[in-house]
Amino acid sequence: MKNISIAIDGPSAAGKSTIAKMVAKKKNYIYIDTGAMYRSVALYCLNHHIDLNDEGEIKKHLENIHIKMDQNNHIYLNDEDVSETIRQDEVSLAASKVSIHPSVRSFLVEQQRNMAASKNVILDGRDIGTVVLPQASLKIYQIASVETRALRRFKENKERGMDVDLETIKKEIEERDYQDMHREVSPLKKADDAIEIDTSDLSLDEVVEQVLKLINKVEEE
């Protein structure tokens, strides 16, 4: 049987990981959260007081950064469970900053390709359809308005018990959009053969249903 790989790309807080997790569970695919990997590198830099703009310094530390994921979507940085810590706003912005460095990207892209090999997988990120898996069986580009994304993130963070302010979240999302779309290496952009889904006015179940239909079609081909 052929292996199927699904790429879900799109801007921050568009709900990619929620959808990818739900779909992976339904289809029994492996879910790979590539953003969590950039977040883990960022957290390592913050913990070790490494300048996020200093690619040379970061590069020296890459061999000491070991990232693992388990089947429950927990992320381990050098064997420490950082699943919650990497969701902090400070880490989100730092992840966007470290992700501009080509050496960080190639370090993680290689691991992502290895993780995706010879399995049925769903990866979400910014460059999955364009760079990591240009031959993916199905590419989805998931978007939503800034207002919708800010409100979703606001509710999520509140539920996590975090101290949050809607306007600040909105500004941070806009800042990350700009950074992710304007970096030189692998900027966020829709692959030519990706299918765009605007989730602004759709419920989670509606998006999942659309994606499942697309996957079923690919499985039948």
Q: Which residues bind ligand DC (CB under 6 A)?
A: 12, 34-35, 38-39, 95-96, 99, 125-127, 176, 180
Residue closer to ligand DC, measured from CB, 101 or 214: 101
Cβ-contact 138, 218 below 8 angstroms: yes
CB of 28 to ligand DC, least distance (A): 23
Residue closer to ligand DC, measured from CB, 38 or 141: 38
Residue closer to ligand DC, measured from CB, 162 or 216: 162
Q: How far apart are CA 211 and CA 8, in angstroms?
A: 10
CB of 209 to ligand DC, least distance (A): 23
CB of 69 to ligand DC, least distance (A): 13
Q: How far apart are CA 122 and CA 139, in angstroms?
A: 10
Residue closer to ligand DC, measured from CB, 9 or 137: 9
What phi, psi does 4 have (nearest 5°)?
Answer: -110, 135
Residue closer to ligand DC, measured from CB, 164 or 219: 164
What phi, psi does 143 have (nearest 5°)?
Answer: -125, 165
Would strands 195-198 and 138-143 be described as parallel, antiparallel, or unpaired? parallel
CB atoms within 10 A of CB 160: 11
CB of 61 to ligand DC, least distance (A): 17
CB of 195 to ligand DC, least distance (A): 18
CB atoms within 10 A of CB 33: 21
